[in-house]
Amino acid sequence: MKFMNEYRDQAVVEQYLGEIAKAATRPWTIMEVCGGQTHSLVKNGILQMLPENVRMVHGPGCPVCVTPLHQIDKAVYLAEEKGVIMCSYGDMLRVPGSKRSLLESKAAGADVRILYSPLEAVNIARDNPGREVVFFAVGFETTAPANALSVLHAHRTGVANYSILASHVLVPPAIAAVMNDEESNIQAFLAAGHVCTIMGVSEYEPLADAFKIPLVVTGFEPVDLVQGILMAVRQLEKGEHKMENQYSRVVRPEGNPEARKVIEAVFEISDREWRGIGNIPMSGYEVRAEYAAYDANRKFEVDIEKVPESAECIAGLVLKGIKKPHECPQFGKKCTPQMPLGAPMVSSEGACAAYYHFSQVMS
C-alpha cells in the first residue's frame, strides 16, 4: 500500500494547495489530458479546493469517449451481420452507436462478451475454431502492448480465427489538436502518466517548445495531481515552457522499450477520427500489412457509412476543454449514465460521468 496511502495524504495535499494559492498571481487554465486524472480531481474534491484563479478543464484522454460512432457501428455490424464473437472491455458495450450499442446487440441475441484482456479472446478463438472472434481494441498507447501481443500470440500459436478491430488513439497528436483549435485557451497540460510509462517523454518536449506551454507528466492520486498543478503554475508564473516529470517513480524517460517493440511490430501510425473532434492526422494505430490476417477491417472488408453525432450532445466541446459537462443543456436530463447521448457519460473515465456521479463538485 506504500504507493497508495502516501499519495493520498490529506496533509500533503493541503500543503501543495497552499503553495499553489501562493504561487498563482494570475488566472491560469490547465488541462488534464487523462480521464483517470479527471475522475481523481472530481472525486477527491480537488476542483473545489483549488484557488479560483487556477481553473482545470478536462481533455480528450478517455479512449472510450473518443471512439467514433462508425467504429461502434462496425462492431455492431460484425456481431449482428457476420455472427462473430465480439469481445470488448465493459465500458464499450454501453457506448451508443448511430442505431444501437453493443449491449443492445447482446440483448437482441448477438454473441458479445466482456473481457479483461485480449489474450482471453485468443483463448476463446482457440476453443471455438468454427467461429470468428474479434476483440474491440480500443485505448491509448497504454493498452496497445497487450492488444499487439494478442496478435503475436495468435500468429505464433496458429489461431487463425482471431482478429482485432483496432481503434487506438495517441495522446501527443491530441494535445497538438487541442492547442491548434481556435477556441482553445489552454495554458498548460497535465500529461497522462500511464501513457508515458509505456512511451516515455520524448514526444512531449517538442510540444512544450512548439506551443510554448508547460507540460507536466503526473500520476493519478491526489498528491500527484496537486503537485503536478503546482509545477505547472510555477512554470506559468515564470514564463517557462518545458516538460517536467512529476511521476518519475514510475515514468522513465525512455518508457518501456520492450512494450514499444511489441507495439511497433504489430501497429503502424495512421490518421484517426476522434469522436466529437474530427480527424487528427497521424493520431492512431492500425494493424500492419504483415498481420492483415488479424485485422478485422481487412478480414471482413468492413465499410460502414459515417453518420453525424447527436446535435444535442456537446461531447466535442467537453473533450476539447471548451465546455464543462454541467454546461450541457442535456446533462442529467436527456443524458444520464443509464441513457447516454454521448460516450463521456458512459465511460468510467468520462468527464460527464464523473460530474454526474460526484455532482457536488461541479465547478
Predicted confidence at residue 363, as pLDDT, reads 41
Tens digits of residue pLDDT in 166-201: 999 999 999 999 999 988 899 999 999 999 999 999
Alpha-carbon span 224 to 214, nearest angstrom = 16
The average pLDDT across 310-329 equals 87
pLDDT value at 5 more than 80: no
pTM: predicted TM-score of the whole model, two decimal places: 0.91
Q: Give the model's confidence band at 2: pLDDT under 50 very low, under 70 low, under 90 confident, else very high.
A: low
Q: Is 326 exposed, middle or buried (0-12, 13-18, 19+ CB in 10 A)?
A: middle
Angle subtended by helix axes 118-127 and 144-157, to nearest 10: 20
| Residue where the block lists cell 462508425 | 70
Alpha-carbon span 252 to 48, nearest angstrom = 32
Contact 87, 113 (CB under 8 A): yes
Predicted confidence at residue 362, as pLDDT, reads 43
Angle 153-158-162 from CA coordinates, rounded to 5°? 70
Q: Give the model's confidence band at 360: pLDDT under 50 very low, under 70 low, under 90 confident, else very high.
A: low
Predicted confidence at residue 160, as pLDDT, reads 98
Which domains are assigned to the chain? 2-62+177-194+201-245 (3.40.50.11750)
Give the distance from CA 194 to its chain's centroid: 11
Alpha-carbon span 262 to 264, nearest angstrom = 6
Q: Give the model's confidence band at 54: pLDDT under 50 very low, under 70 low, under 90 confident, else very high.
A: very high
Predicted confidence at residue 1, as pLDDT, reads 43
Angle 209-211-213 from CA coordinates, rounded to 5°? 80
